[in-house]
Amino acid sequence: MLVTLKSILRLAEADNKAIAAFNVTTLEGIRAVIAAAEETGQPVILQFANAAHSGYISLHEIGQIMLLYADEAKVPVCVHLDHGANLEEVHEALELGFTSVMIDGSALPYEKNVAVTDATVELAQGFGASVEAEIGSMGREEFLSAGGSEADLGESSYTDPDQAARFVKDTGIDALACSFGTVHGIYLKAPKLDVDRIKVILEKTGKPVVMHGGSGLSDEDFRRCIQNGVRKINFYTYAAKFAGDAVREHVSEAGDGNVYFHDIATWGMESMKKTYIHTISVFSNLKEN
């Protein structure tokens, strides 16, 4: 069933858990997410990062498939635009029927971030959709593009709780993506998580905290962040990597035998489903079979 981000995060808050938000780039990825959510009986967020993945498939193409699978799912599913770059992109997702959008103005000066986020909230309200926005920086590129230096890269890029509270008040968003030590993509070194910052941000803003750059953390790291108030966790990179590893293993086992593309797609999907079941179970504090 198709639901908004705001409503699905209420479920998370009621059960003191986090909702898994999985980026998808293929039909197999969508099927893996929905199958994992239905098998665990947990709500889930299907999301597409147009800025990062439009080279594989367009928002228009994959968005319609995401909405179809979400609508027919046996569990609550939010269809979300991840890291919306501008109002035109946000509007396209809303026109398609996405129930939630993220506008990412984190690399902009504060006032410009507020302006574009406020406009997004107003636009989304006309569609009955939720809005996520970001304050702080989840990666090296974001921090440097926002004017930071290599020397300052680190804790200085973390979200300031007082600024976060002001940002929420100035924009009226439904969920806040924050920086507290995670980064996008593959980790080059062990993350230095400031989980206490999560709790302070939650107390000052009163809004669900969103974690970006979740791939690569330990299960215990995730549990600590959830205990301190994280309610949505984005996860993609390592699921894609593990699926690639699984395909490589199957191809190696085939040796000189034939390898068919439909088998490759199935191997990848099965691997992603396995990863997603484990991830959902950790986020929801479930026991795995």
Q: What is the pLDDT of residue 25?
A: 97
Residues with pLDDT less than 70, the chain? 137-156, 183-191, 215, 289
pTM: 0.90
pLDDT in tens, 178-206: 988 876 554 445 567 888 999 999 999 99
Is there a domain that residue 212 lies in?
yes
Please check if 213 is assigned to a binding site: yes
Please check if 98 is assigned to a binding site: no
Please check if 80 is assigned to a binding site: no
Q: What is the pLDDT of residue 13?
A: 96
Is there a domain that residue 14 lies in?
yes
Please check if 212 is assigned to a binding site: yes
- Catalytic site includes residue 152: no
CA distance 244 to 267: 9
Q: What is the pLDDT of residue 101?
A: 98
User: For the chain, what is the HEC assignment?
Assistant: CECCHHHHHHHHHHHCCCEEEEECCCHHHHHHHHHHHHHHCCCEEEEECHHHHCCCCCHHHHHHHHHHHHHHCCCCEEEEEEEECCHHHHHHHHHHCCCEEEECCCCCCHHHHHHHHHHHHHHHHCCCCEEEEEECCCCHHHHHHCCCCHHHCCHHHCCCHHHHHHHHHHHCCCEEEECCCCCCCCCCCCCCCCHHHHHHHHHHHCCCEEECCCCCCCHHHHHHHHHCCEEEEEECHHHHHHHHHHHHHHHHHHCCCCCCHHHHHHHHHHHHHHHHHHHHHHHHCCCCC
Is there a domain that residue 215 lies in?
yes
pLDDT in tens, 30-41: 999 999 999 999
Is there a domain that residue 268 lies in?
no
Is there a domain that residue 249 lies in?
no
* Residue 67, domain extent: 5-240+278-284
Is there a domain that residue 176 lies in?
yes
CATH number of the domain encompassing residue 153: 3.20.20.70
The pair phi, psi for residue 119, each rounded to 5°, is -65, -35
Q: What is the pLDDT of residue 150?
A: 41
Catalytic residue among 71, 82, 160, 221: 82
Is there a domain that residue 272 lies in?
no
What is the tally of structural domains in the chain? 1
Is there a domain that residue 117 lies in?
yes
